[in-house]
């Protein structure tokens, strides 16, 4: 039975989720959700939806309290939304409510908000996984899988057929032959996987603000790709003049200085792909973030590397040039020359947090 309160609560949740959807852009740009990630769900702070009333503000407000203290002693900060009047505490201030959303719901909202096309994974049946499904019944098996109803039915049939059944004393005794057990079949399911390789320039010019932008974008990219594939694998590469494969945490924290050789990252990416993700089986995504300040002579090598090793096997190669306080480099101009030639090359300039939303749309809007 559906209780009244369940209906009202569901309605409330729907309204709140609508609120999140409405303000998704704000959430995306400000990265408020990251770090609030549970295993499958994210909790998002939403200002409690409230019905406005004529009510008192703080100015001129006060109340009566009890306890020790001198005149002039502060007893609590004003809350911009609180119950300033202090009416014997029978009204409450505004709350921030946490809404639990699954990552799927979030991805769907994102897709809807950015009008992202669904991705058609390549290599559909190339990789399969095996799964056991309980779809059949067999005469043998462990007790824990005994199919009670089937067993009972067979026993009943047998007893009626052998004239041993007495409706006045409906006693059914199954024999060994009557017993039936649930049984499984192993089925193969197409399994499409995606590999995401994040590359980031960690030279001195990439400050925490820039990294925060990268982190926020990566979160949304992950969320969207996860929704499109059965699973995703992620690898992280940081580089200055040399590249290293690191874990996620290090990726966002490490900061180095020294010259920048982007080609080193491409070599590392190529290595990882060859090692872990045979391109015929994997949908491969590369996201590179940099302020675009490359060692001049290195550009040629970068392009060669991309054309030879990366473009041919990637679903997408996305380059996000993050503007840094030290000015923005011109690596993106080098890549622009090839935009026409390779339609899996996507470029985006990210000036500040506000630009994240648009940048995600640019990257993922191709449906590849």
Partner 1 sequence: MVVTTHRPLPKELSDIQQEMEQHALDYGLDFFKTIFEVLDYEELSMFAAYGGFPVRYPHWRFGAQYDELMKGYSYGLQKIYEMVINTDPCYAYLLSANDITDQKLVIAHVYGHCDFFKNNAWFAHTNRKMLDQMANHATRMNRHIDTHGYETVEMFIDTCLSLESLIDPYAPHIKREAKAERKPETKRQEEETGEASGGRFPAKNYMDRYINPDEVLEAEASQKREKAREMSDQLKFPKERMRDVLYFLIQYAPLEDWQRDVLSIIRDEAYYFAPQGQTKIMNEGWASFWHSTIMTRHGLTDEGLINYADHHSGTMATSPNRLNPYKLGIELLKDIEERWNKGQFGPEYEDCTDMFEKERWDKDLGLGREKIFEVRRIHNDITFIDTFLTPEFCYKNRMFSFAFNDSNKTYEIQSREFEQIKQQLLNSLSNHGRPVIYVQDANYKNRGELYLEHEYMGVELKLDYAQDTLVNLHRIWKRPVNIETVVDDRPTILSYDGKKHHTNSKEKT
Contact residues for partner 1 (CB under 8 A)? 3-5, 7-13, 15, 48-49, 51-78, 83-91, 95, 97
In Å, how far are 33, 249, 261, 295 from 241, measured between CA atoms? 33, 21, 4, 9
Taking the complex as a whole, how short is the minimal distance between the CB of residue 22 and partner 1, in angstroms? Answer: 16
**Nearest partner of 282 among 292, 272, 294, judged by Cα:** 272
Residues 316 and 363: beta-carbon distance below 8 Å: yes
Nearest to 321 by CA among 212, 196, 214: 214
To the nearest whole angstrom, how small is the minimum distance from the Cβ of residue 45 to partner 1?
Answer: 13
CB 284 within 8 A of CB 314: yes
State how beta strands 193-201 and 231-239 pair. Answer: parallel
**How many whole angstroms separate alpha carbon 105 and alpha carbon 125?**
26
Task: Please identify, using beta-carbon distances, which residue of 11 and 37 lies nearer to partner 1.
Answer: 11
Q: Judged by CB, which is closer to partner 1: 92, or 176? A: 92
CB of 21 to partner 1, least distance (A): 16
Q: Residue 71 or residue 173: which is nearer to partner 1 going by CB? A: 71
Q: How far is the CB of 4 from partner 1 (least distance, A)?
A: 7
The first and second tokens of residue 138, run together, are: 């067999």
Distance of closest approach, residue 41 Cβ to partner 1, in angstroms = 15
Q: How far is the CB of 25 from partner 1 (least distance, A)?
A: 21
Among 363, 361, 366, 368, smallest CA distance to 110 is for 361
Smaller CB separation from partner 1, 1 or 173: 1
Q: In sequence order, which residues have a C-beta less than 8 Å from that of residue 82 and are 6 or more positions away? A: 58, 93, 94
Closest C-alpha among 360, 352, 319, 283 to residue 106: 360
60: left (phi over 0), alpha (psi -120 to 50) or beta: left
Q: Shortest gap between Cβ of 14 and partner 1 (angstroms)? A: 8
Residue (87 or 250) nearer to partner 1, CB: 87
Residue 78 or 327: the one with the smaller Cβ distance to partner 1 is: 78
Task: CB nearer to partner 1: give 84 or 292.
Answer: 84
């Amino acid at each position: 039975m559906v209780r009244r309160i369940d209906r009202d609560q569901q309605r409330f949740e729907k309204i709140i989720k609508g609120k999140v959807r409405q303000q998704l852009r704000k959430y995306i740009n400000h990265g408020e959700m990251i770090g609030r990630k549970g295993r499958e769900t994210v909790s998002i702070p939403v200002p409690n939806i409230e019905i406005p009333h004529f009510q008192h503000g703080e100015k001129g407000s006060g109340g009566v309290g009890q306890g020790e203290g001198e005149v002039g002693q502060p007893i609590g900060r004003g809350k911009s939304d609180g119950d300033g009047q202090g009416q014997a505490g029978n009204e409450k201030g505004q709350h921030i409510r946490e809404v639990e959303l699954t990552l799927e719901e979030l991805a769907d909202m994102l897709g809807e908000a950015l009008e992202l096309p669904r991705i058609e994974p390549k290599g559909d049946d190339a990789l399969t996984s095996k799964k056991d499904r309980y779809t059949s019944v067999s005469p043998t098996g462990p007790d824990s899988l005994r199919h009670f109803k089937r067993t009972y039915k067979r026993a009943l049939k047998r007893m009626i057929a052998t004239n041993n059944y007495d409706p006045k004393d409906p006693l059914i005794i199954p024999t060994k032959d009557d017993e039936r057990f649930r049984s499984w079949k192993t089925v193969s399911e197409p399994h499409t996987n995606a590999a995401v390789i994040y590359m980031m320039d960690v030279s001195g010019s990439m400050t925490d603000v820039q990294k925060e932008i990268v982190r926020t974008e990566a979160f949304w990219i992950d969320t969207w790709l996860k929704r499109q594939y059965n699973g995703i694998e992620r690898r992280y590469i940081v580089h200055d003049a040399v590249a290293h494969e690191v874990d996620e945490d290090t990726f966002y924290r490490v900061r180095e200085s020294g010259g920048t050789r982007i080609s080193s990252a491409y070599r590392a990416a190529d290595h990882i792909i060859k090692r872990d993700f045979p391109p015929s089986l994997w949908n491969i995504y590369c996201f590179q973030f940099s302020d675009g300040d490359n060692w001049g002579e290195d550009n040629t090598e970068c392009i060669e590397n991309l054309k030879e090793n990366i473009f041919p096997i990637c679903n997408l190669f996305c380059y996000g040039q993050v503007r840094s306080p030290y000015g923005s480099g011109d690596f993106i101009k080098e890549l622009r020359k090839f935009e026409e030639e390779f339609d899996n090359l996507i470029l985006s300039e990210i000036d500040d947090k506000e630009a994240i939303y648009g940048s995600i749309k640019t990257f993922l809007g191709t449906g590849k």
